[in-house]
Chains A and B, each alone.
Chain A
Amino acid sequence: MPVYIAPTKDMQFLLHDVLRVTESDVAGYADIDRDMTGAILDEAGKLATDVLAPLNLSGDQEGCRLENGVVTTPKGFKEAFEALKEGGWNGLDLPEEFGGQNLPYVMGTAVGEIFVSANMAFNMYQGLTHGAISALLAHGSQGQKETYLPKMVSLDWTGTMNLTEPHCGTDLGQIRTKAEPQDDGSYLITGQKIFISAGDHDLADNVIHLVLAKAPGGGEGTKGISLFVVPKFLVNEDGSLGDRNALSVGKIEEKMGIHANATCVMNYDGAKGWLVGELHKGMRNMFTMMNEARMGVGLQGYAVAEAAYQNALAYAKDRLQGRDVTGAKEPDKAADPIIVHPDVRRMLMDQKSFVEGARAFTFWGASLIDRAHRAGDKDADGLVSLMTPVIKGFLTDKGFEGAVQAQQVWGGHGYIEEGGMSQFARDARIAMIYEGANGIQALDLVGRKLAADGGKHVMAFFEMVKAECKAHDGDERMKGFTDPLKAASKQLQAAGMFFMQNGMKNPNAALAGSYDFMHLMGHVCLGLMWTRMAKAAHAALDAGASDRDFYEAKLATGRYYMARQLPACAMHLARIESGADPVMALDAEAF
């Protein structure tokens, strides 16, 4: 069975050596000292290793069942959910007035990674609830907050997000679900929603659906959309559960991965719902939560890759095949462990250098969200908006690649379901698709985010990279980081320049290169993260840190990323500069 141990040491390094959270002026950061974060991460890690991870493979094999309208989750999920609930983990970064602990989002991100790595499908029941809570916190009325939030924060009830319909996902302006106003101020919701993660299950007493629907009087397209809260069981005045609402599960989708999460077709047949936020402003309300939701999916990308990597590494140290060409390492055995082979090393280093860089990138993004929310920093908000499509698109593409590579290390055994490596690849795949397919992320980045606020945020990012390189001018030890980073940053700027010069005349010239731009920017971001990690590692070594091996390994891993991954930037730039022609040359009929 696959194993998982939370990488708490690396997380502590990021929080305290790289981000230096306790020195920050953001509210709540001074309290999360090394002991406190250590205690939290250790306990989350224990729960992940002992309770959640052992259910990952069995949950995948068993899946969810729908019988007589009732959804049953895999064996052991109920007990595990109880443990999660009793631990109060869902409330980590939620307001105290609704039962949360109000810790910074960056801590929620670290703990979230641990739970996702251990069992992605399981964690989605909580993850979707967290998303629905954020929506209600941002847009719900006081009454709605009081009715739903305490029970959702405690996980007595869970939540869902209902956007997609059979004929539309990305283009939500086409939705057909209707909301008819009633005399008592409620609405009757009628329509069908599909791909609803955690749509129904046996883990909680109630499921609170947030549903996009069209109420009369709105305009065409996305303008007519409003957001409604539609509980599975109606809630009485005193907070107890009342009648079953007129909604049901049509079926559970059969999917490639995340089998243990019930992805439901939800049928609303005149279900009672209540408006959340302003009428006809549902899309805008949804967008306010998009950064967090998309960052959460980017996190899934590398979190699954982390779990896959740990198992690839264990296998590479254990599996005996062939001999080290430079001399046998274990002559008394039939063969050497495959970790001696350079090509196996390449695969392991690809995974390791990506996951550690991705973790740094995501934690940094989460710290920007904290800065934006807790300190009202508009620039941080702009910067994280710019980074969000990169975190989502780049980290899930590369996360999937990592999971496939981990599977590759296992050879034929990786293709057999028994070992669990296939599951990692299958589970990681969805993160590239949902919450805005990665092509949409690229479009969002190039079409919207680059030019946002007059291009202010991307310029600030270029300046940030420049300043980071400049800070190490003349430091020979950092050259292996700053030289490639400088070059990659120039390539990114050249790509941006190409869009500016050609995109106005021909928008396709920008759009054809948008995916490459997202990857190019992803590499620059990870290059920046590795430069910062290298700086922190050198500082720790200079200060006489006892754990030299950890910091030396950090530096070697960073050098690998700079030497072996950043060269991809030149390729992406060349593709971008080839413009729209190679992509669009064929008429649609010619295919």
Chain B
Amino acid sequence: MKVLVPVKRVIDYNVKVRVKADGSGVDLANVKMSMNPFDEIAVEEAIRLKEKGAAEEVVVVSIGVKQAQETLRTALAMGADRAILVVAADDVHQDIEPLAVAKILKAVIDEEQPGLVLAGKQAIDNDMNATGQMLSALLGWSQATFASKLEIEGDSASVTREVDGGLQTIKVKMPCVVTVDLRLNEPRYASLPNIMKAKKKPLDEKTAADLGVDVTPRLTVVKTTEPEGRKAGIKVESVDELIKKLKDEAGVI
């Protein structure tokens, strides 16, 4: 079985995000970028499947600017076998929307014919949480989202999902799209020998146009603002006062 893992280049989780002065988005010029942490978990899971003998090949795909090559190399250094870069933007600030990403991925999948797509549940930059679901709909494949455990059993996959209030285990038919959650695994650090080897692994480059997908944005960003800072609290004198405030001011009881 071939496993395909889409990976996104996002602002590094350690970077303090700054909103651009014109409110059109966040400032991504010259800030440190890394692989979306959920995608790292997906790559790790794919490599583990390969190490267990449940998969033969791990292909990673990234869609965006040319610099996403670095992100793909990181995945190759972790242990993926080969990479595909779909160049779909010149400007680092252009975010490709989930539907366009899903369409591009579908086109790649039509060519590659993987038995499983493992994706991060969402990207930490825009938190859309939509690409995996859209992709499964476009492909007509089963989907299992928010996976915290994954087991391949013949032509089906047993997936434990993190849902409100607990865990839910479902069985889905393969091929399928699984989006992974934080607790599925802890991604490995790439070893130095593997970083060196990654340089020699194949990395194909295509464009969105090659795959016939229009990436023109359909959504309009109205404005972007920083979250409001936390305000100082107050001390109440008595329980009665607390209840009064909760009733009259906060309106929660």
Contact = CB atoms under 8 A, between A and B. Distances in A.
A39 B70 contact: yes
Contact of A43 (B29, B30, B32, B77): B77
A38 B195 CA distance: 10
A218 interface: no
Contact of B192 (A5, A9, A91, A550): A91
B212 interface: no
Interface size class of A (residues with CB under 8 A): 20 to 34
A547 interface: yes
A354 B69 CA distance: 34
A46 B189 CA distance: 8
Contact of B30 (A5, A51, A547): A547
A39 B189 contact: no
Nearest to B34: A42
Given A47-B189, A87-B192, A88-B192, A39 B30 contact: no
A92 interface: yes
A101 B191 contact: no
Query: Which one of B34, B77, B192 has the highest number of Cβ atoms from chain A below 10 Å of its Cβ?
Result: B192
B200 to A, nearest CB: 11
B34 to A, nearest CB: 8
A559 B85 CA distance: 42
A211 to B, nearest CB: 30
B199 A36 contact: yes
A42 to B, nearest CB: 8
Interface in A456-515: none
Contacts of B190: 39, 43, 87
Nearest to A49: B14
Query: Which one of A35, A43, A51, A91 has the highest number of Cβ atoms from chain B below 10 Å of its Cβ?
Result: A43
B128 interface: no
Given A35-B73, A39-B77, A546-B29, A86 B191 contact: yes
A38 B70 CA distance: 9
Contacts of A547: 29-30
A49 to B, nearest CB: 7
B196 interface: yes
B203 to A, nearest CB: 11
A87 B191 contact: yes
Nearest to B74: A39
A87 B196 CA distance: 12
A40 interface: yes
Interface in B18-44: 29-30, 32, 34
Nearest to A44: B192
A83 B70 contact: no
Contacts of A453: none
B193 A39 contact: no
The binding surface of chain A is classed by DSSP as helix
B65 interface: no
B198 interface: yes
Interface in B59-90: 69-70, 73-74, 77
Nearest to B92: A546
A39 B76 CA distance: 11
A146 B71 CA distance: 38
Interface string B140-169: 000000000000000000000000000000
Interface in A59-114: 83, 86-89, 91-92, 101
Nearest to A51: B189
A549 interface: yes
Interface in A504-553: 546-547, 549-550
Interface string A1-39: 000010001000000000000000000000000011011
Query: Which one of B29, B189, B198 has the highest number of Cβ atoms from chain A below 10 Å of its Cβ?
Result: B189
B191 A39 contact: no
Nearest to B14: A5
B192 A89 contact: yes
Contacts of B77: 39, 43
A92 B191 CA distance: 11
A40 B30 CA distance: 19
A101 B193 contact: yes
B30 A549 contact: yes
A43 B40 CA distance: 13
A89 B199 CA distance: 17
Contacts of A550: 30
A32 B196 CA distance: 10
Nearest to B192: A88
Interface in A367-389: none
Contacts of A42: 34, 74
A51 B189 CA distance: 10
A5 B31 CA distance: 13
A87 B199 contact: no
B70 A87 contact: no
Contacts of A101: 192-193, 196
A547 B30 CA distance: 6
A257 to B, nearest CB: 27
A339 to B, nearest CB: 15
Contacts of A91: 192-193
Contacts of A38: 70
A317 to B, nearest CB: 10
A375 B199 CA distance: 25
Contacts of B30: 546-547, 549-550
Given A5-B14, A39-B198, A549-B30, A88 B73 contact: no
Interface string A417-441: 0000000000000000000000000
A355 to B, nearest CB: 19
Contacts of B198: 39
A545 to B, nearest CB: 9
Nearest to B194: A88
Nearest to A83: B189
A46 B188 CA distance: 11
Interface string B171-193: 00000000000000000011111
Contacts of B195: 36, 39-40, 43
B73 A39 contact: yes
Query: Which one of A42, A86, A547 has the highest number of Cβ atoms from chain B below 10 Å of its Cβ?
Result: A42
Contacts of A549: 30
A361 to B, nearest CB: 25
A40 B193 CA distance: 10
Interface in A211-256: none
Contact of B191 (A5, A49, A88): A88
B17 to A, nearest CB: 15
Interface of A: 5, 9, 35-36, 38-40, 42-43, 46-47, 49, 51, 83, 86-89, 91-92, 101, 546-547, 549-550
10 contacts: A5-B14, A9-B32, A35-B73, A46-B189, A49-B14, A91-B192, A101-B196, A546-B29, A549-B30, A550-B30
Smallest CB-CB A-B distances: 9 pairs = A547-B30, A88-B192, A87-B191, A88-B191, A88-B193, A43-B190, A39-B195, A47-B189, A89-B192
Given A35-B69, A39-B190, A546-B30, 9 more contacts: A5-B14, A39-B73, A39-B195, A42-B74, A43-B192, A101-B192, A101-B193, A546-B29, A547-B29
